[in-house]
Structures are given as structure tokens and as C-alpha cells.
Amino acid sequence: MLITSIQGVPNYIKKIYYLIINSISFYPVVISTFFLILAHLAIKVGLSKFKLFSKLDLEFLTKIDSEIAQTIASAIIGGVFSLTVFSFSMVMVVLSQASSNFSPRLLPGLISDKKHQLILGFYTGTLIYAFILLINIGILSTRENDLGFAALMAAIFGICCVVLFVVFIHGISQAIQIDNIINNLHLKIQKQLNHCIDHQEAHHHENHSMETVVSNCSGYYRSFNSKFSEKFIDNNPIQIEIVPYVDKYVWKGDPLFRITKNVNNNLKNNVADSFNLSANKNSSKEYLSGMIKLMEVAVKAMSPGINDPSTAIDAITKLTEAMRTALKIYPTVCINTSNEAIQLVQNNISASDLIRILIQPIHHYAQDDFAVLCALVESLNSLDGDHLIPENAKSLITQQLEALRKSIVALGNHKRNKAHFEKLFADA
């Protein structure tokens, strides 16, 4: 079994931690717990006749008898419960629509929206607060105004829920719009790519005698924890080259890493334990995963049931801008470690794999749409004209452009759009 540790924390604890904090129920549970504590504090404040109300002449705010407090709590429970059910129903409708119209891989991003989780958490917390207030009305309120402060707080929370419901409706209506989904994906991808560009350090292969170690299980390569390996490395310098690029699926028996020869087996096993391989394809948050989502949005838009070439062209445009940056990342980079005895090398995804994974599926599914094919040609022409992109990548782009030219010729629309067709490939 491959195990990844972060600063001594075993991998299974790390997985449980990320499973908890990334769950849609995490923030609602935390906020509900806070409201549970707040309810008990508010009731105690009311029973202790908090002197601050007298000093500020605010006692009139807490002059709420038990009957009115019970009415307030009952109204909040009924109203907020309806808002909660309606909000959860809207979330399910949005997820269903996004899955059927855009791409199922977009669902984790929509579910993990922290703003919506906080609003739902406030709903459930208000419900818990009102329930505790209602229970205590008949138990603790032996005198009038004992629970006036707690009832006042409940009313304020109820008003806040109405305001948050408007915010929730606006947010969920924006989240389902495909233009916003594409733009948000593009911004996130571009931020990750720019970070890679700013921190990359090219690796020049040295003549080291290296030994290849294969993987003992299958999964998507996510990360390598160098800190875990450093604990088992003495002062003798070694070089470790990570073979798969991030998000590549590694089969059992595939090369996992290369390491300097003549190191002991214990060290090899510890280096292998530093790899994080995931069985979940959607668990990645790297730029390649986001680019694949853009590709899938374009492909989904070209399906007969959707038939939305405008969305496909928009996704292609954003995908091209991301590829413009991705193709400038060095194929092999050095990764800085705190232990100078380790030279850690990471292989990045190649230009040929990028074109195969991102461009060829769009080409395949858009073979019957002249507008989308032309948009794809224009995008590749733009990449081909970028002097910062390596020549080996440009040669692959040229090959893809030739394949697109043949598809457009086979479609026959180039005859009716001869001038545009000739201009497209004159720029290639």
C-alpha cells in the first residue's frame, strides 16, 4: 500500500481530514454547533437579567412574555424549515441540470461552494436555536421576560435567514449559468498555471546511474511528499525522478520513480510510501483537471441533445488561453526540498498528451459543425503564432491543423465559405 504522510501524519488520517472538510455537511455541522452553544448562552443571559440592558436603557427590547416568545419560535421553525427544504431542493435541481447539460465532473465544484454551505448552515443553526428556545419556554420561564433576550435573538436570526435566502437564490442562479462556470474555471486554471510558470526551474538531465522502481498499486498520481522521504535519507546526495505527471493514471507495475542506484531497499520503500495515488478521478484540484473539464463542457455542448455550438466555442477559447500557458511549462522541472541531499525531479505533461487529451476529443465530436471546427482552427493558429511556445509543440499543432483541414474539406462547407476557409489556413 502506498502511504503519504505530511509532517508525520499518516495518509489515512489525512484522507479522513480532507473527507470531512470537503463534505457538504461540514460547515452546516460547525455552524449548528455554534448556534447550539449560543442558544444556551442567550437563555442564561436572560435568566441572569444582564445589567447591560439597564445601563443602555434597552430593557424594552427584552420585554417579551412567554406566549409571544413561543409564537416567535414556532413561526421561525415553520418558516426557516420551509426555506431550508426549498434551498436543498434547488441545490439538487441545479446539480441535476449541470450534470445533464454540461458535465458530471462539474458537480464537485458546485457542491463545494462554501458560500452556499454557510447559508445552509445558518438555516439549520437557526432551526436548532428556535427548537431549544421552544423547549426551554415551558421549562425555565417561570417569570415573565426570562427568555425575552433569547426570543429577540431568534427574531433577528429569522430576519437574517430571509436576507440570506435572497442571497442564496441569486448565488444559485449565477452558479448554474454556463458562462460563469466557464469563466470561473478559466480563472482558477490560469492562476494555477501562472503559479507553475513563476516557480518553475528547468532540469537539465545529468549522467546519473538511475534505477527504475515500479508502482505496487494503481491510481491517479496526485502528489509526492518529500518531507516524509527526507527522514530516511542520510547526507549522501541522491536524485529522485518522478515518472508520471500529475493526474496521470498509474497502473500497477508501471514505472513510478527513478532513483540513484545502490541505495538500500528500505529507502526505496520509504520513497514509494511518499507517493499519493488516488482512485478518485475527480479528487484532483490541479490545472490539468480543470482543462479537462473545459474540454468536456465543449464536447457536451456538441452532443445532439444539447447542440450549443456557442458554448463549445466559448469553452474552446478559454481552453486555448490555458494551453498557451501550459505549453510554456518546462517538460522536466526541479522541485525544491528542504534537504539539499535530495535532487527531486518532476516530469510534466507533454505537448503531445495535452493535444491528445484536450484538442482531439473536441475535433472528433465537432466534425459535423463548420463553425466549431473553424473556431478550433483559429485557436490553434493563435498557438502556432506564439513565439514563446517551443518548436516541438508547434510541430504537433501543425499536424493537428492539417487533420482539421481534412475534416473541414470532408464536411463540404468549405466550398460555400471558400474565402474564410482559405484565410484560415493561410494563417496556419
The CA R_g of the chain, rounded to the nearest whole Å, is 29
Q: C-alpha dihedral over 46, 52, 54, 58, to 10 degrees?
A: -80
Residue of 39, 56, 49, 52 lying closest to 151 (CA atoms): 39
**Amino acid residing at 355:** I
CB atoms within 10 A of CB 247: 21
Which residue ranges make up each domain of the chain? Answer: 21-176, 187-426
Centre a 10 Å sphere on the Cβ of residue 210 and count the other Cβ atoms it contains: 16
Across the strands, what pairs with 347? 332
φ, ψ for residue 242 (rounded to 5)?
Answer: -85, 120
d(CA 423, CA 298): 24
What CA–CA distance (Å, rounded) separates 305 from 316? Answer: 19
Three-state SS at 253: coil
DSSP lists the bridge partners of residue 344 as 240, 335
- Taken as a whole, the chain contains a residue count of 428
If 0-12 CB within 10 Å is exposed, 13-18 middle and 19+ buried, where does residue 191 land? exposed
d(CA 340, CA 333): 16
Q: What is the pLDDT along the chain (428 residues), one digit of tens a residue?
A: 333 334 445 555 666 766 677 677 788 889 999 999 998 888 877 666 555 554 545 555 566 777 888 888 899 999 998 988 888 787 777 777 777 777 776 766 666 678 888 888 999 999 999 999 888 887 765 555 567 778 888 999 999 999 999 988 888 878 778 888 889 889 999 999 998 888 887 776 665 678 888 998 898 998 887 766 566 666 667 888 899 998 899 999 899 998 887 777 887 888 888 888 888 777 677 899 889 989 988 998 888 878 888 999 999 999 999 999 999 998 888 887 766 667 888 899 999 999 999 999 999 888 888 888 889 999 999 998 888 898 999 999 999 988 888 888 777 666 666 666 666 666 65
Looking at 203-347, list the stretches that DSSP marks H as alpha helix, in order from N- to C-terminal side. 226-230, 265-273, 287-301, 309-326
Of 275, 305, 288, 364, nearest to 105 (Cα)? 288
DSSP line for 322-353 = HHHHHTTS-SEEEE--S-TTEEEEEEPPPHHH
Global pTM reads 0.77
Q: What cell does 137 get? A: 419556554
Position 201, amino acid: E
Residue 50 has what pLDDT? 53
